[in-house]
A and B are shown apart, each in its own frame.
Chain A
């Protein structure tokens, strides 16, 4: 599903941030991406989201080389991925429903289909009935679940989470992780960037560890 082949990323100011990174996530796999800050975690995520391009090497997502994607086709690649953020990145002046519906509206789904899928996604994350609330009226854990519903509503083959439990207490974190495992069970590939060691150790999943731009465990 996601393959890194000899990926290098160099910035003019800081030099090589990623050096010869290789890994292959199979469909339905969950992996933690970890490492000290500055090790290159966020660069890996940026490369996958095509916010940045690799200096060398290939990244293949769902059979497509990201380096060959034209700028105007980037939005279509992003629709194959659901992104989840530490700070949720919700639209504060829109209702929960509108926030979750955004990817579907963008992809051009009809009104009824949008409505049906948004309800299904909110049901999965346990927020059915809160469609009309604004994000600020929700707790941190609930906001994160809105973010997750938005990430999965379009049924992407891959979910990418950047410190999804960073702002949550251990109990809520465990709940979110359980949710991820449910998505894994239906074939979604999930990559979670995190430095929550205790959480990573508790869960028995693959770990990709970066150290100064190199993959040391993977």
Chain B
């Protein structure tokens, strides 16, 4: 063993702040650099640690990714459903299908009469020709209709009652009046089915939100539990670090980065799963949409939604880890 020739220890004067007595050497920039290096080291070594136990990591991230995919997939379904109902304002529009024998002139006169009523905001007459053109455009049966000799479509009068007429009974009364009138073959109030569709969508949306909250909590708890196991596995290391003067912050750092990676990687994997599911569905949705002349396009995650998804999954995992760390690291005391 070599002779110790330099061990520069001078008697120290009393300093009020403990933290200043044994801080690292070097000036402020050196220390800042060392601090940054420590973070970078934790950042990458925690990722390396995940890769060094591929089986465990895959299991954990797989479970989290499925939870995230389920929540975000359901969200996408709702977004797509909502797309169907946009533009379908909760209108109380009434469609009057006139009898076949009613002429266009007669129809216009009848429409004028309706216009005169005080509680009517707007009346629009759709002639047989217009109805046919519209039908050709949107039904997908355009070619078949060409074959018909006679236009089978009736004249339609669209009646929009005044906004003030929100009273259900008054509206129903108006609707009944139209039904009774001689010109009308069949009357239809649009509101009912729009309302039904919208309530289905809003139920789905609420379910999606509830599901997202539950699965978000799952991410939070699973990440926390993973970190708890990790703390347990590295118990000895934590205690030794405490004995040689590590602060709780120092000890927590690599675990927090582990939480970060778990959350981030699960978010990425969940995004891929949900997007793949949608890609599988796309063909059949496009076929369906084709039948309606492409009125509907499948929507995927937008950039901002992707960003939000990754931020949320990462945040949940980091917060879950942090809470577990906060309580467990304090408890672990050297013996």
What is the interface of chain A, defined by CB distance below 8 A to chain B? 27, 49, 51, 62-64, 69, 72-73, 75-80, 83, 89-91, 102-111, 113, 123-126, 150, 154-157, 175, 178-179, 182-183, 185-188
Interface residues of B in 21-70 (CB under 8 A from A): 21-26, 30-31, 33-35, 37-38
Q: Does B139 reach chain A (CB closer than 8 Å)?
A: no
Known: A103-B244, A124-B2. A109 touches B7 (CB 8 A): no
B37 close to A83 (CB less than 8 A): no
Q: Does B305 reach chain A (CB closer than 8 Å)?
A: no
A62 close to B12 (CB less than 8 A): yes
Q: Does B9 reach chain A (CB closer than 8 Å)?
A: yes
A126 close to B240 (CB less than 8 A): no
A75 close to B1 (CB less than 8 A): no
B21 close to A76 (CB less than 8 A): yes
Instruction: Please pick, from B15, B18, B19, B240, the residue contacting A102 in the complex, using a CB distance under 8 A.
Output: B240
Q: Does B13 reach chain A (CB closer than 8 Å)?
A: yes
Interface size on B, residues (CB 8 A): 45
B247 close to A75 (CB less than 8 A): yes
Instruction: Please pick, from A78, A123, A157, A182, the residue contacting B243 in the complex, using a CB distance under 8 A.
Output: A78
Complex CA distance for A152 and B277, rounded to whole angstroms: 59
A186 close to B9 (CB less than 8 A): yes
Complex CA distance for A97 and B148, rounded to whole angstroms: 91
Cβ contacts under 8 Å, B25 to chain A = 109, 113
Q: Tell me the minimal C-beta distance from A200 to chain B in angstroms.
A: 22
Cβ contacts under 8 Å, B10 to chain A = 187
Cβ contacts under 8 Å, A62 to chain B = 12, 21
B247 close to A155 (CB less than 8 A): no
What is the interface of chain B, defined by CB distance below 8 A to chain A? 1-4, 6-15, 18-19, 21-26, 30-31, 33-35, 37-38, 236-237, 239-248, 250, 333-335
A110 close to B30 (CB less than 8 A): yes
The 9 closest A-B pairs by CB, nearest first: A186-B7, A63-B14, A79-B245, A78-B245, A108-B24, A79-B22, A126-B1, A187-B9, A103-B244
Instruction: Please pick, from B11, B18, B33, B335, the residue contacting A77 in the complex, using a CB distance under 8 A.
Output: B18
Cβ contacts under 8 Å, A79 to chain B = 21-22, 244-245
Number of A-B contacts (CB under 8 A): 129
B4 close to A89 (CB less than 8 A): no
Complex CA distance for A175 and B11, rounded to whole angstroms: 28
Instruction: Please pick, from B31, B244, B247, the residue contacting A72 in the complex, using a CB distance under 8 A.
Output: B247
Complex CA distance for A110 and B31, rounded to whole angstroms: 7
Complex CA distance for A107 and B19, rounded to whole angstroms: 10
B250 close to A76 (CB less than 8 A): no
Cβ contacts under 8 Å, A123 to chain B = 2
Complex CA distance for A50 and B37, rounded to whole angstroms: 30
Cβ contacts under 8 Å, B33 to chain A = 110
Complex CA distance for A72 and B12, rounded to whole angstroms: 22
A91 close to B236 (CB less than 8 A): yes
Complex CA distance for A91 and B240, rounded to whole angstroms: 8
Cβ contacts under 8 Å, B6 to chain A = 186
Cβ contacts under 8 Å, B8 to chain A = 155, 186
B24 close to A183 (CB less than 8 A): no
Q: Tell me the minimal C-beta distance from A98 to chain B in angstroms.
A: 11
Complex CA distance for A84 and B26, rounded to whole angstroms: 27
